[in-house]
Structure 1
Amino acid sequence: MTRATRSDGSNLSSEALNALRSSVKGKVVVKGQSPEDEYRPLLERWNRMHIKEANIIVLPETEEDVSSTIKFVGEHNLDVAISSGRHTYSGPSSSYGLIIDLRNLRKVSVDENKMIAVAQGGCIAGDVEAAAEAVGLRPVMGAVNATGCGGITTGGGIGNLSAQHGLVADNLLAARVALADGRIVVASDEENQDLFWGIRGGGSNFGLVTEFTYKLHKADPQVFSGFFMFPPDKLDAYLELMNSMHQDYVMKSNGKFTCNGFLAIMGGNPIPGFLIWYDGPEEEGQKYIKPLLDLGPIYPGSGAEMKPHTLTTDWKQFEKMFPPQFNRLVGTSTQMNYPLSVDILKKTVEKFKDIVAAHPESLSVSKLLFDIRDYSKIASVPLDATAYANRREGCLIAADLIWDKEELDKEMLQVAKDFISQVRAWVKEDNQQKGIAEVGAHVAATTLYALVTDGDEKLVSVFGPNLGRMKELKRKYDPDMMWDKWYPVDPNHEATN
């Protein structure tokens, strides 16, 4: 069975567009018809490499608007994308056809007694965090508050609270989902359990989530958090410290201490650092950062301090690391078992250094990341409990290649693939030498984090043994593949693509 090519909507009649306008309360913006100062800002994305000039953008005001728009998409066989936070690496929120832009659906309500938050599908993480923090509660969200709830929840979602409470998806209690035929259904442990399984890690493969119900957790709003950066001559000691930080501090904190390594290249020299977060008072947090102070950071007096948790995820503190002209990105990732091979870490840094050296001005703000958080809570959930398949413990190694020139797009995508392939090869060889069979390749979990990837990896590398069940769900909920922007599962393709 061959899937019909979807239209970009450029040939829709005036009558059809007027019918769409009359069916929704929200605004319908049409390329070439709507004012440019209204149309152009709606195309903006965090990753400008994936900006596409959509022919139609619908901004729903209600859930009924979403349903009507989906029915219109189906009637005219349009290419469609879902836009929520627009903060993705691989560009699933963009389309040349029709975009369902949820930015006007951002209401959050918190039930303090039940400890739940109900968030509309266009919310970003910061909306939910702020509403919960106001009453002494906290949701599990990702690293930055600019991320859309839709992407981070359906994609899994890892953040500083994951060591205590699991993935963002693990804290989802229920969702309202708009299906490919326009129907709105509830997905939870009580209703449409199969769909609930699929939207927790399966992305937008099965529908558009119009509303999320999250579990909240009691917490002191204040946490101990900050950055520590080190001079280039401390690189070897920094890399050698990672195993100790993970084993002796992160893993002994009951999930309260997270420590993420990052590295930039400045003037041809590697500048390593740690981003730390401790869910407790400063006097306790100081014990966890002692090894970092002993290592000798560049600015020891400005490292960590007490601050509201919402400030630790505030995108504004990260924006200075991403100057506006550097707005084209590709993310790529893999994992390494503990204890980490310091030799591989050193080779990884050298490889990354060589990549930046090839385009020192264009790639100067690129980052290499070493996530040494405690993943045991995530890994404790059975692999088949949700569609999310990356439930294993290990260090997540990720590269953010960030550049400023459109002509470098194709080259950088290939560079990212080659880089992570080399790192995976080193990990696989190291595991073989240690007698660890098949680890580093796919066994019962993936070796990448699907929210930090270029969007072109093989499905089996993302969904692993859950792929077969996902195909069954796709046949049930979206057999014609309306939803095909984020690792789309083809229900009729049997190969392990």
Structure 2
Amino acid sequence: MGRAKRNDGSNLSSEALDALRSSVSGKVVVKGQSPEEEYRPLIERWNRMHIKEANIIVLPESEEDVSATIKFVAEHNLDVSISSGRHTYSGPSSGYGLIIDLRKLRQVRIDEENMTAVVQGGCTAGEVESAAEAVGLRPVMGAVNATGCGGITTGGGIGNLSAQHGLVADNLLAARVALADGRIVVASDEENQDLFWGIRGGGSNFGLVTEFTYKLHKADPEIYSGFFMLPADKADAYFELMNTLYQDYIMKSNGKFACIGFVAAVGGNIAPGFLVWYDGPEEEAKKFVQPIIDLGPVYPGSGAHMQRHTESTDWAHFEKLFPPAYNRIVGTSTQMSYPLSADILKKTAQEFKAVVSRHPENLFVSKLMIDLRDYSKIASVPLDATAYANRREGCMIAADFIWDKEELDKEVMQAAKGFMSQVRTWVKEDGEQRGIADVGTHVAATTLYALITDGDEKLVSVFGPNIGRMKELKKKYDPNVMWDKWYPVDPDV
């Protein structure tokens, strides 16, 4: 007998809604009943392609509120979404039913002596970074501070500190998790170890995390970071530099030097550049960026300087690169083994340019990323140690297609899939490549980074050989598949 289809809550009686309101201390916002000026900001998202008009939004002010809301969801078999930072590519924080919006749960407590942070589930990465930096400590978070701790931690989480300290999930010490029956349990190496395994890479498949406890690291507050933009006629030399940059600089920096190549398509040309980040003093950093400067000339105004780590992750810097109207985004990613094929990189850039050239006035802020960061620390963890299955040394190639018109949604989504399918084919066919996803300290069957995707990829591409164990966990913790927004695992399929 199959599970009953979840409903969007639009037919709930006023008595049921009153019961929900009386069971929580936080706000309950109902579409069509609450003022529009209150409702509309709550459904806004970073990626406007995934704005959905939820019928009910609950803003819990405590774990008890979260628990009561989940029990209400279960009682009425509602479609439910979890909203934390709302900064996602594939839109799992959006839905038409009930949204549990954690924005009121934002406390950060730093234990300076034990070098830990206890963080409520609605916090953003930037809030944790700022609190830790104030006492000379640093958490492992992503490359930008606008992401919610919930998504980046349960999804794995790669940042510029990962070469030194691993994934965001690898720095998780414990979590408090609200299960599908409303119970709140602790997940750690000592308690509910199977759940702890699942929430480190398995996303929201097993519950809603109300609180994270992270390991922190001693660090100087200042790092060296910035963008180096190069002229279009340096594109070939740019791609040919990448193996040298990776092997002779990044991999010899003890995890301190992080570098990502960026490619834009402007005026029919390939416009290359690098985002650099060095965890150390400027005189050291300049030795590592020298090969980039030698490609020169770098564009006036581009370059790097010493700044606080929290400045380097500030989303406001990145947001300036995108005019406000360009807020519809699809991300897609794959991987390539080292040494990189300069020929494939050049063909990838040309294919990227071809997609942008279909609608240059609508897609010109799109970017191609060639991630040269050191993944050996991530790959050193056994594949079956956590649900996160993308533990391999290699180069991530990702693309953000960004546009401004809703009517282009379907076309650009299809173009993005076609683009990455072609890139994967080139990688697979290259005799120097040892398979698209079978290289590394631990063999992984994944072909993408799940936090930069459109959300429709096959589960094997996300979880690889860990799927079997995840199905068993789903049967135990969420047999009726309440949590179904981020690569949902079906225990019966």
Q: TM-score, normalised by structure 1?
A: 0.97
> By how many angstroms is 1:3 displaced?
2.4
Aligned position for 1:436 = 434
Contact 1:250–1:373 under 8 Å retained in 2: yes
> CA separation in 2, counterparts of 1:86 and 1:403?
19
> By how many angstroms is 1:436 displaced?
3.0
> By how many angstroms is 1:270 displaced?
1.3
Partner SS for 1:393: coil
Partner SS for 1:361: helix
> CA separation in 2, counterparts of 1:195 and 1:439?
26
- Per-residue CA shift, 1:229-262, capped at 9, x if unaligned? 0010000000101111100000000000001000
> By how many angstroms is 1:320 displaced?
1.1
> By how many angstroms is 1:435 displaced?
7.5
> CA separation in 2, counterparts of 1:434 and 1:105?
50
- Per-residue CA shift, 1:124-176, capped at 9, x if unaligned? 00010000000000000001000000000000000000000000000000000
Q: 1:149 to 1:287 in 2, by over 3 A?
A: same
Partner SS for 2:469: helix
Aligned position for 1:189 = 189
Aligned position for 1:44 = 44
Q: 1:141 to 1:297 in 2, by over 3 A?
A: farther
Letter aligned with residue 353 of structure 2: K
Contact 2:81–2:98 under 8 Å retained in 1: yes
Contact 1:204–1:483 under 8 Å retained in 2: yes
> By how many angstroms is 1:482 displaced?
0.1
Contact 2:337–2:439 under 8 Å retained in 1: no
Aligned position for 2:67 = 67
> CA separation in 2, counterparts of 1:475 and 1:309?
42
Contact 2:232–2:271 under 8 Å retained in 1: yes
Aligned position for 1:114 = 114
> CA separation in 2, counterparts of 1:128 and 1:441?
34
Q: 1:449 to 1:438 in 2, by over 3 A?
A: closer
Structure 2 stretches of 5 or more lacking a match? none
Identity of aligned residues (%): 80
Letter aligned with residue 233 of structure 1: D
> CA separation in 1, counterparts of 2:420 and 2:19?
48
- Per-residue CA shift, 1:71-98, capped at 9, x if unaligned? 0000000000000000000000001000
Residue pairs, 1:412-491, within 5 angstroms: 412-430=412-430, 433-434=431-432, 436=434, 439=437, 444-491=444-491
Aligned position for 1:402 = 402
Q: 1:435 to 1:187 in 2, by over 3 A?
A: closer
> CA separation in 1, counterparts of 2:311 and 2:445?
33
- Per-residue CA shift, 1:6-51, capped at 9, x if unaligned? 0100000000000000000000000000000000010100000011
Q: 1:404 to 1:440 in 2, by over 3 A?
A: farther
Contact 1:293–1:300 under 8 Å retained in 2: no
> CA separation in 2, counterparts of 1:51 and 1:193?
35
> CA separation in 1, counterparts of 2:437 and 2:101?
40
Aligned position for 1:97 = 97
Contact 1:9–1:55 under 8 Å retained in 2: yes
Contact 2:338–2:394 under 8 Å retained in 1: yes
> CA separation in 1, counterparts of 2:213 and 2:164?
19
Contact 1:379–1:393 under 8 Å retained in 2: yes
Aligned position for 1:306 = 306
Contact 2:437–2:446 under 8 Å retained in 1: no
Residue pairs, 1:287-436, within 5 angstroms: 287-299=287-299, 302-430=302-430, 433-434=431-432, 436=434
1:57 maps to 2:60? no
> CA separation in 1, counterparts of 2:389 and 2:323?
34
Letter aligned with residue 295 of structure 2: L
- Per-residue CA shift, 1:272-318, capped at 9, x if unaligned? 10000000000000100111111104336641110000000000000
Aligned position for 1:177 = 177
> CA separation in 2, counterparts of 1:439 and 1:308?
36
> CA separation in 1, counterparts of 2:133 and 2:204?
28
Aligned position for 2:282 = 282
Q: 1:297 to 1:87 in 2, by over 3 A?
A: farther
Contact 2:437–2:444 under 8 Å retained in 1: no
> CA separation in 1, counterparts of 2:13 and 2:452?
39
Q: TM-score, normalised by structure 2?
A: 0.98
Letter aligned with residue 234 of structure 1: K
- Per-residue CA shift, 1:154-207, capped at 9, x if unaligned? 000000000000000000000000000000000000000000000000000000
Letter aligned with residue 349 of structure 2: V
Aligned position for 2:263 = 263
> CA separation in 2, counterparts of 1:436 and 1:109?
45
> CA separation in 2, counterparts of 1:440 and 1:422?
19
- Per-residue CA shift, 1:427-469, capped at 9, x if unaligned? 0001xx2373574699633110000000000001100000000
> CA separation in 2, counterparts of 1:315 and 1:428?
35
> By how many angstroms is 1:411 displaced?
1.1
Partner SS for 1:402: strand
Letter aligned with residue 237 of structure 2: A
Structure 1 stretches of 5 or more lacking a match? none
**Cα RMSD, aligned residues only:** 1.2
> CA separation in 1, counterparts of 2:427 and 2:77?
45
> CA separation in 1, counterparts of 2:358 and 2:414?
14
> CA separation in 2, counterparts of 1:25 and 1:257?
47
Aligned position for 2:203 = 203
Letter aligned with residue 70 of structure 1: I
Residue pairs, 1:232-251, within 5 angstroms: 232-251=232-251
> CA separation in 1, counterparts of 2:29 and 2:437?
49
Partner SS for 2:54: coil
Letter aligned with residue 37 of structure 1: E
Contact 1:424–1:440 under 8 Å retained in 2: no
